[in-house]
Amino acid sequence: MANPTSGTRNQGEERTGGMGQTGSDLKNKAKDTASQMADRAKDMAGNVADKAKDMASSVTEQARDAASNLGRSASNVASNLGERAGDAASAVAGGMRNLAGTIRDRGPHEGVMGTATSRVAGALDASGRYLEEHGLGDISGDLSNLIRRNPIPALFVGIGIGYLLARATSRS
């Protein structure tokens, strides 16, 4: 009878050992599955981060290109305006020189009026030549220097021009 008791203990130990083994296997499988899921989550997070970086880089590059194009457009507009202003200045200079020639040809040549005509034609011709040679940029610089050297007369000239413009516009 001692044998059946020891047999029962062996069967119980085998069962417990078997269940312990099965529990251990389940625990290991759960760890492996959790580890695999964690690895997949890391990979997915890395992929999402890479895609986000690529998209941010793409958006940044597109913004940079747009800003560059806008800058070029603004530069082109300014350049075109500068060219148009230069062309207008050249046209005005040519007109001044033509007017000087017309005044010389049609004005009186002798006496006080002849002298005045000659001086006006000379001044128009010199001004037209100056405008052709120097352009609007140099003229504005020269005008600024003239106003700095002579502020009081410049103020009176400004007041006089303002008065004349006010009178001219009030009659219209």
Q: pLDDT, tens digit, for every residue of 101-148?
A: 888 888 888 888 888 888 888 888 888 888 888 877 788 888 899 999
Q: pLDDT, tens digit, for every residue of 82-101?
A: 677 777 777 888 888 888 88
Q: How confident is the model at residue 152 (pLDDT cuts 50, 70, 90)?
A: very high
Range of the domain at 61: 2-171
> Using CA atoms, how far apart are residues 124 and 122, in angstroms rounded to an integer?
5
What's the token pair of residue 84?
């148009």
Number of domains making up the chain = 1
Contact between residue 154 and residue 146 where contact means Cβ atoms under 8 Å apart: yes
Contact between residue 92 and residue 131 where contact means Cβ atoms under 8 Å apart: yes
